[in-house]
Structure 1
Amino acid sequence: MKKNSNIRTHGLYLLIGLLTVSSCSQEDLNVKTNLSGGQQEVVINLSVPFEFAQPQLRSMDITAEEKIDCIDVLIFDKDDRLDTIVEGRIIKSTELRATLPFKNNMRLVLIANAREQVHELQSSLSTSSVWDKKTLLAQLEFSALNSDGSWNTSAGYTRFPMWGEASTLISVTPATSGTVPVATISLLRMIAKIDVEVSGVAVDKFKLKNVRLYNYVSKGRIVPDSVKITGSQITVTAPTLPADYTQPSAPVFTDYTDFSAPGVMDKAMRGVIYAFETKAPDISEPSDAACLVVGGEFEETMSYYRIDFWDKTKEVFLPLLRNNHYVVNITSVKGEGYATPEEAFKNKGVNVTYEILQWNEDVNSDIKNVIFDNYYYLGISRDAFQFANGAITGNKPTNLLKIKTNYPGWSVRSTNTSWLNLSEYNPSSTVEDVYLSLNPYPSEDVTTKREAQIIIEAGRLHYSVSVIQHRDIEPVSIKITSDPTGTTPINQTYTYKFDNITYSSDGDLPFFVHWTPVSSPLFIYKTVVPGVDFVDWSSSPELTTVTEATIPGVQRFKVTSKLVSSSEVSNGYHKAERILFQVSNGIDTEEQSLTLEQIYVPLVPGAPRK
């Protein structure tokens, strides 16, 4: 059993000024320096969640929702057992530096804005015999709510805890660069945001005065369950609640009355309501559902209306999910509601019509920028594109603009069709994929870049998307072949089967990696194959970042299977690893992978060896 003395922590000063939140106080972590065996400061790129769509003008300003005051790196081995805890050093919003030990196949987990909780986890290890990643991360909980259940959004606001995890295993050696990123890790906020707006004909008869959030959860898990994560590990599909959570016997609520900007008195409450994840109860238990009770003046009479987070298509309650933004748009109020908020909570909503817009706010979500106008909304996947000097064609994520709106008859156009054009689209569709196509940068053009705009119009809603093409940046490409000329691609999976341990290390695969721009380094990462035990094949030369190849843009490798022992094959043997090759031109990144399998297949008695 691993002893507690093997857990190592190493402190690095943060370069972001004074820390104002107790969960990030430098004194919270009992830092010890014990990285024996060598160490190296490395760079980790961060993908931080976008700010929730509406700009904030109170103390929770436009950057507050993505603000990182402190970040800790939890290092696990390839078997997902905790090895080391180090503090990170924030260089800028997209870059982290941390000192990591010389070690192969490390899994990096980042925890932001929750140093106190990381310290508590570390302290618990002195008496704990549980070291696996899933169990340890489930212990990280956060409950920094005001006494009334609200999030602290006033001066000295509480930062949002975030979590992220590297998708590949990381190795650090004396040869590891101190300037080239070893990984890019996306971070996920642990809270949801709720805004309430009054629009359309409802504005004439109803004045919004307060909002109550019923059945909020008083604490949350910082790290979501991995089995409930999709995409690039940053989109949850179900809530993750603390193990000891129980539904209160009596309903709990928080009363919100803050209409300061960007809210609008009587019309909109924005940037005020933040909540931990909640589960969706059965439809037979509406008293257990997280819901809103909005209070306001209907024709000068104070009334209250219940608003449920409800899926009209599936006819089920919706959970509140982390990093999601919920906009409750009240479009019509036809009459008085209930006389008290308690009465409204206990009954179905009456005389009110509303819709709930929900979207995920992470860096890989489809829609990141949303604007509203009474009944209508317009959202786009990105507000800027940059391209290299080559032609851009086809349907790829890099030239995709996703448009979402409920306005019928919207339009999209390019301001310069001589070099920037758009694919056909359906103006009646509520969600549409529009692909950009660009002509090559003219060789005779002496300018360093050219710019155009994509204009999206949906009634009175307008969005402008910037498009820049650079003259001096080459397109990025990468391929793996069996020959130095790059004409014969190899299979992305190589399987070596052996029938005797004597021959277990006879699996050889030579190959060539070709990439452009040839001046860019070739980044190489080793990672696991889901559902298969990890095995580390040897390589000549070593599979590390290539900064200078003998032939520019071409590197030969030869990988060799591992020599195994008889005990390893006693119950069968099937292990694998995946090698990721990446290259970037500073704008785009391309990736290719090679999976290496090693399988023991016992020889049938009397059968010839193949």
Structure 2
Amino acid sequence: MKNNHISNLRKWAMLVAAMILQISCQQDDSFSPAADSAIINLSVSAANSGTTMDNDDTASAIKSLCILQFNADGNSFGTLRHVGMGMETAPNSGKYSATLLQSVDNNDKYKLVILANFPDGDYGIFYRMGGKSYAEVQQACLSAELSGESNVLEFTAAQPFPMFGIAKDGAPQIITETMNLGTVSLVRAVARVDIGIGTKNADNNTWNKGGVPFAMTQVQIWKDGKQYAYMPVENNFSSSAGALAINSPSPVGGTETKIYGSAYITGTTYCSEKIYLPEADLLWGDVYDDNHSSRLAIIVGGKYNSSDAETFYRVDFNYDEGSKAKMDILRNHVYRFTIKSVKDAGYATAELAYNSKPKGLDFSAEIEPWVSNEPTSVPSIQGYYLTYEGFNGENVRWTYGNLSTQKIPKKKSYWGTNVYLPFNYNNFYKEGNSIYAPDMPGGQNGRLYTTVEETLNYEGTFPNLMVSGDDIVDESGNDKVQWKTGTTLTAFDLCRDLEENGYDDWRLPRLSELAFIYVNQESLKALRGFTPLSGTYWCGSEFQEGTSDEQRKKSESAWAVDFTGATTAGYASHHKKAETLKIRCVRQQQDNPSLKKK
């Protein structure tokens, strides 16, 4: 009896072991590596970049990873056999190891799916799906459903983009006791849409509005998917030489209108790296056809030609207005739309624009794979720009005192009343030169000013202004300096000595230019790497302290603008030149042959 009892226990143990081998979707640490398990190693790269990524960049970070081990059915996915959790072998290396089931012979092959950044790292859903097909697993792990117009799809550094990949181009693998899968390329689960007005800049993520008379106030996505698929449909992707390609969309059903307001739009000019869409089959026919009101589309809202009324335009996913070349929405691609011109007011409501034939604007579009090493919105070596009533410089109304408001004018080439004298914006480094001392070669520097109104009457902001990325400090590291130290023009010299972004023709801004920076500072703040202005800043425009010729030629005071005072932010005031204030330098954006450019 005793031997029979032992024999029965052994049989029961063997049956349990077989069951564990048959469906072992459980945490790796729930069993010890033995003859039936294998330690595999792999590297991961975000979005077909070929480089490992594991950092705090939302678009390429990898915070968690698992491997789904499917029992290969010929060259197709069979059923889910095991889930292996990826463990980093070194911090921030992009290198992982995981425990999988080892093949029992050369006919025991597996296809391996890699998932990264599953919400909250909760991969428990897969542990309950042993024996399920790829299609069943794919449908079971769709994203949570989004609903409500304000519920836009967003990702953060804490919860970056979910990613998907397959090992060894999806070829069935014999899993050996210790093996290396090499680098597995991952793709994001959603697509990205950028849209801007005017001309797309070289960084691909910002636009210069130029002369297009339109201020973007909102972007709506009509018929946007409520969910996205963490795993694409089995037949909708392929892989070759380690590069994973998405061939067709994997729709999940259900749509919603999502609205991206002014918080998502930079300077009423572009919305970039903010709109993410699930995959979608757009049911294409013609741009305006029977499916027109059933198809996903962009609705752009804004103000045409300085109108106070908001107007709306429809932009379809084709390469330009009226083009026969159409697009579907594929995960891990970037769709960039450029509104080249706006000819007239659009429709009165977004709904009317969506349901009606597109009108009122011309656009072009491009689509490309969304790789992790593409240029981002970090400004290039070209620096930080303000374009008068255009790119980052739409605002020209300035409140410079208690309820005192005036429009900041453009640069004036000439100044004066009865006579017109050349006004050189760079060459004004002789203190106090005015009509009473007209000895400056190449043009005058203006005059001394008693009031802000007088200043803006004689000078204006250079219309294409480049702003230095940070405050200037002197040789001792002081960020506040005197306008003038003895006979040395300290503030002027610090800007003239600045070499930044490949240029050495920096200068102190005019009062009008400092005001132009102030009223558009939010657009500058939105650019990565730009240090916001804080405190009171010197400008090169001098204050006229009296009426005598000597007082007009020289002054002991100069104008400044307060950027962050509790009750004086934006105000202009004059200060003694011996006071210490901050400095931010500017230069003329377009090249001037007479200026040295490195």
TM-score (norm. length: structure 1): 0.48
TM-score (norm. length: structure 2): 0.49
Which structure has more helix as a fraction of its residues? Answer: 2
Which structure has more strand as a fraction of its residues? Answer: 1
